[in-house]
Amino acid sequence: MRVGNWNVRGLNDEKLLNLVEISEMIHIDMYILTETHCWNQETHEHGSWKLLHTGRNVGERRECGTHLMIKKTDCDDIEFECADERIFTCIIPSR
């Protein structure tokens, strides 16, 4: 599995599309994104990707935030747990 990391300093649709394009060019299977500036803890999908994220509560200052962005085909057995708005733990089974 190939893993990439990016301090996005605010995640938006343009940056998300850029990440998908880069992943296809250099065959990235998973990204760890920091400073996404997103709120709460949510899971959503974007094309063939699943995004798991943690951030501050709605109404608090929008900073911090982390995402795990992984291809849907690789995410079935992954355990994701948010420690706080800056840290998550992830258990990825060996293949």
**What pLDDT is recorded for position 61?**
64
**The token pair that represents 50 in the structure block:** 């699943």
Does this model's pTM top 0.75? My answer is no
Interval 45-78: pLDDT, tens: 888 888 887 766 666 666 677 888 888 877 777 7
Average pLDDT, the chain: 79
50 exposure class (CB count in 10 Å sphere: 0-12, 13-18, 19+): buried
- For 5, 26, 32, the CA distances from 2, given in Å and listed in that order, are 10, 9, 11
If pLDDT is split at 50, 70 and 90, which confidence band does 95 have?
A: low
Kindly state the helix (H) or strand (E) to which residue 78 belongs, with its residue range. Answer: none
